[in-house]
Structure 1
């Protein structure tokens, strides 16, 4: 029996829909979008962009009624802009501009410059929307320019000039962060820089001026393709030269500050690696991954790794590392006490984080005490998080006398009288039949190797 359902995020596109059938991803090209698609293929752009890895791969399959159908390469994990670090958003912006420049060279242009059209493949951004390419009439400006500013340039300037946490505004503005909001939030010094002056402040004034419906509409603006290419290259240079902010955060250098001895840390690494090799997970979830020390260990002896952490600096460090190495590790910025919910129409356009992270193995190293003591999670809530994520787990128990727990207790009363190794093991045994207790030598910490048969 064939099982088929449309993906909610694609409902806005009149030129085609994305759907899943029997475990595979497909995209339709409607008659409305067929001329653009054929031009894109016959111009050589399709092969050039797929061979270079800039867009996801595809093959044409049997048509569906009047629609052309493409079978798409499926990416290991889809994350969203509000879950990225600064460098991820900047690299996604650069990819979007690079794709647009390739299109313009052959007489096409991007009609959709949404950040949600980009995801990741082994540390590199990849464009996903095969329906975003359209033939470009000479003299027509870039219709998706405003969208690009709202999805990329504006958020990047807010992150750089003010605070990296501004990216969370994407949760409330799935169509991009409004330009007038960005203009008001940026410091006065941003008026002195050409890029923010032109693309943000003057753009905002222009937008406000012409939003008055009573104003008489002037002639449609025009821009030669040569000038359009020059503008996009200038915009690209501005973004490429935008260095990421380096905030000092509490847990960004956890492994540099931790009280592990060399022997203890080596034992922990070896134990986790041996368990990963035994399980041979096709997909591992590393919760509280920090800078990815154990995410990379897991990726070396299994498949893809989803590495989630609450700290923007830690996610930034991990992303830069996997960008250099090309490892199948997918960094994602995530607060487990307030994970990304389902968003958009009927809360279905963008899937919740917890619904996207099912795997074979889940790691929770130096995490449980943050949830129980720092976040007041109950044991049943902690166990639920792990057991609903994967049937096998490695977690680490850190006792109260540990200096990292003492850091948490400095600013709060100790109300967790049940925070003991015995209680922790008993809680996990409700969901995992096998619980192997592995003390870490030269340390008071303990690893729990959990299996559900």
Structure 2
């Protein structure tokens, strides 16, 4: 992981790293750096000397971390950095409301596994947020090194409430009620409050696994101790004989509960799209050949976005020609099935995400930048927009110029857009137009789309599929 030392020019503080004053994350070029104050630096030295932490890093469960020169980042005027760390960069940052159910559950299980290992050697995590985890393909990885601190007997797990709000409660919502958690997490950066969820688990629903203990009783304890200080609560727990062993037992109990939670979503229209989309065998072979050639042309892409990835057919193809692929699909059920399949196959270069292309993740949290919006994270070397444009332009009433501008905005300068235009006479376009007033889309034509695309980039290749109602393009942005 050793790299040349970077200077302090161009240092960018991470907008999502400010809530813990003991440490702060910065970006310098491709480097991810973390400044630590004196107390956090002492905790880091103890952590680096432990047995469990290096083992977790080696296993890929915690992001790679090493000491770096303190001069790499500017000192905080109020609290000078006593140490600076360099972290391995995550290929693409995502947010929990962009994950599927199985992804959120696997992230929760990794967090609990790490906490168990830490407790066994006298450490704990002071945070329990789902945002402390990211992904390398289908592998979750813990990234918040500053969360580790020595455990003190008589104190509960400080991250328990965060864990419930951002991981456990969303899992309970989907597993027990069949309600997608993604809109709930997107609405509140701090997660789902117990008071929000409790009315949905009244009556016999209170008896479902995990609900009584972690939702109703937890909420009642919060209300009972609302006027007590943290110091008072800690003193009460120490007096009651609360020990590290009890914390471990609690964590094991939560882990057992999370493993039992599952939700295999019902089959949806999009889950069987490859069979129902109407491609002939000739169309499919021609399309795959065009996409392969388009991705193989020029410099190997570091990041490819597959928009409307469905079952991941083209994401897998892209993974053979790129370092990393983010496969975006609107239907949580389809993404969940894709994730489970990719995980079983050991695929580590495709990250599936839940995202509505007509309503992508906006910036959120403090000042709208604490959690970056999708567009600001998605400067890709290649963008696949296959069988997507007609759904946006006709199905969602988005003007064709806006669709093209959006695709260009997701693509890095010099990057390529591989896009499919479905002609108005195509059966799928006919189906979408049948639900719209006549004459609503006079500009939805192949020549208009081609002109718009050529105005924003250089069209290098085009192919009309054998069926004659769909055309593929490769365009270089800014070319």
TM-score by length of 1: 0.94
* Matching residue of 1:234: 253
Equivalent position to 1:384, from 377, 381, 405: 405
CA distance, structure 2, for counterparts of residue 258 and residue 62 of structure 1 = 55
Question: How far apart are the structure 1 equivalents of 2:426 and 2:166?
Answer: 43
Whole-angstrom distance in 2 between the partners of 1:33 and 1:120: 25
Q: CA offset at residue 426 of structure 1?
A: 1.4
Is residue 2:434 matched to residue 1:418? no
2:274 aligned residue: 255
Q: Does the CA-based 8 Å contact 2:209-2:257 persist in structure 1? A: no
Quote the residue 1:269 is aligned against.
288
For 1:204 and 1:66, the matched residues in 2 are separated by: 38
Give the deviation of 1:299 after TM superposition: 0.9
Secondary structure at the residue paired with 1:17? Answer: strand
Bigger shift: 97-106 or 19-28? 19-28
Shift of 1:402: 2.9
Aligned counterpart, 1:112? 127
CA distance in 2, matches of 1:155, 1:184: 15
Contact 1:18 1:27 in 2 (8 A): yes
Structure-1 separation of matches of 2:27 and 2:474: 35
1:210 to 190, 215, 225: 225
Q: Quick one: which of 392, 395, 414 aligns to 1:374?
A: 395
Give the aligned partner of residue 4 of structure 2.
none
**Residue pair 2:400, 2:444 contacting (<8 A) in 1 also:** no
Give the CA RMSD over aligned residues: 1.9
1:412 alignment partner, SS class: coil
Supply the distance in 1 between the matched residues of 2:227 and 2:243 (Cα, whole angstroms): 28
Quote the Cα distance in structure 2 between the aligned partners of 1:247 and 1:187: 25
Q: Does 1:56 align with 2:63?
A: yes
Task: Summarize deviations over 1:376-395 as a string: whole Å, max 9, x none.
Answer: 11121111111122231111
Whole-Å Cα distance in 1 between the matches of residues 327 and 184 of structure 2? 22
- The separation in 1 between residues aligned to 2:338 and 2:209, in whole angstroms, is 32
Counterpart residue number, 1:306: 326
The answer as to 2:280 corresponding to 1:291 is no
Of 359-368 and 180-189, deviating more is: 180-189
Could you tell me the TM-score, scaled by structure 2's length?
0.90
Q: 2:421 aligned with 1:397, yes or no?
A: yes
User: Runs of at least 4 residues of structure 1 off by over 6 A?
Assistant: none
Q: Distance in 1 between matches of 2:457 and 2:70?
A: 47
Q: For residue 85 of structure 2, what is the aligned residue in structure 1? A: 70
Q: Distance in 2 between matches of 1:55 and 1:178?
A: 28
Corresponding residue of 1:316: 336
Deviation (angstroms), 1:213: 6.7
Residue 42 of structure 1 deviates from its aligned partner by 1.4
2:210 counterpart SS class: helix
Residues 369-425 of structure 1 deviation map (CA, whole Å, 9 limit, x = unaligned): 011101111121111111122231111111233332233234332411222222211
Match of 1:220 in 2: 236
Are 2:178 and 2:263, in contact at CA under 8 Å, matched by a contact in 1?
Answer: no
Counterpart residue number, 1:14: 21
Work out whether 1:351 is the aligned partner of 2:376.
Answer: no
CA distance in 2, matches of 1:316, 1:194: 22
Query: Deviation string for 1:314-362 (max 9, x for gaps)?
Result: 2112222322222311112111222111111221111110010001111
Secondary structure (helix, strand or coil) at the match of 2:270 reads coil
